[in-house]
Amino acid sequence: RRSHLAYTDHMATARVPLRACLRASSPGHPASRPGASPSASAIARPPTKIRGVPRFGQRVVCASAPPGSLADMQVTLVSVDVTPGDEEDFASESIANALASVEEPDNCRFDVLRAVEDPSKFLLVEIYKTESGPAAHKETDHYAQWRENVQDMMATPRSARKYVPVYPWPGLWGTAAASRRARVPDSSAAAAAADDSELIEKASTFLTLDASAADADSLGAAYANADALGAGFDIDSLIDSFGDTKVITHVHVSCVPGTENAFAEASTANAASSVLEPGNLRFDVLNAADDPRAFLLVEVYDSPEAAAAHKQTPHYLEWRKEVQDMMAEPRKAITYVARFPEDPGAWKMRLSEA
């Protein structure tokens, strides 16, 4: 069985888009929530094993994550309006808090983002493996220090919205800090790693291949034309004082009632193909905890040219066509620059054990 990273490297070399398998019964999928009715479009339960290398024209469905794993994850986006003139001080305090927070045992990610169009708006992306993570975070000294230091820098009270992760699977939320923690020779850490071994194995083989929809020539052409596609971008506005050229886009979508399951499936398929693009760092699909019709697509590319090339790929064009009638209103995109982490390697999707 191929690991996820080896498999995606193989597929990236072949330049074949992937289509992900998302069961309606999987945690994180809208249909899995209490009271949700089964969808006629739900994908059938996949087999638990795959053998051999997929042939072109053959769809291979891989093992899904065990129940409860995605549902246990806690994703919180904290929006902050900072008083004009306090932006850099707020950023410094938030980066210090984030540096300590990513070392917390339950933490998956802790990002500090600043809006491009309005530099006074910040977004803190806090992701934990279980519900105990956020509670433990609020008991830490670094959180208490951050809260005290920034309270007078906020123009309005901060607001938070919780999301349920749909993609990627739990074993693919790894960070550099998580990797360091995994290598600590601690008995409890070793026990946790043993408990997670089956989850990681399953998470590493969640992809499917739909070669009948593949268009390697079109995918290659998109990247060959990346320079021309990027010409319309205002690159300078995407570069902050630290010279960060990553393009981080949050796409907010409100679905027509009854289309939530289909949108989740189509968006997961698009995301699983998008993470194979040469310039992609992340492509997460989140579903609002307070509104199953609200989705957030987190797209991270290493340059404006790579972000522009994405819009020409076959999987994006297919996704746009498939979901255009599922949107209750035009989708809204907000572009951010990363204040933390800045290193592209800290953004790239990886196995938790990597």
- Domains of the chain by residue range: 74-181+233-346
Three-class HEC string of the chain: CCCHHHHHHHHHHHCCCEEECCECCCCCCHHHCCCCCCCCCCECCCCCCCCCCCCCCCCECCCCCCCCHHHHCEEEEEEEEECCCCHHHHHHHHHHHHHHHCCCCCEEEEEEEEECCCCCEEEEEEEECCCHHHHHHCCCHHHHHHHHHHHHHECCCCEEEEEEEEECCHHHCCCHHHHHHHCCCCHHHHHHHHHHHHHHHHHCCCEEECHHHCCHHHHHHHHHCHHHHHHHCCHHHHCCCCCCCCEEEEEEEEECCCCHHHHHHHHHHHHHHHCCCCCEEEEEEEEECCCCCEEEEEEEECCHHHHHHHCCCHHHHHHHHHHCCCECCCCEEEEEEEEECCCHHHCCCCCCCC
pLDDT tens for each residue of the chain, 354 residues long: 333 444 344 433 433 344 434 443 344 555 555 555 444 333 332 333 323 322 222 222 333 344 447 888 999 999 999 999 999 999 999 999 999 999 999 998 999 999 999 999 999 999 999 999 999 999 999 999 999 999 999 999 999 999 999 999 767 776 666 556 655 554 444 444 444 444 334 333 333 333 233 334 444 444 444 444 344 434 344 444 445 689 999 999 999 999 999 999 999 999 999 999 999 999 999 999 999 999 999 999 999 999 999 999 999 999 999 999 999 999 999 999 999 998 888 888 776 543
Domain 74-181+233-346, CATH 3.30.70.100 — does that match?
A: yes
pLDDT of residue 349: 77
pLDDT score of 320 = 96
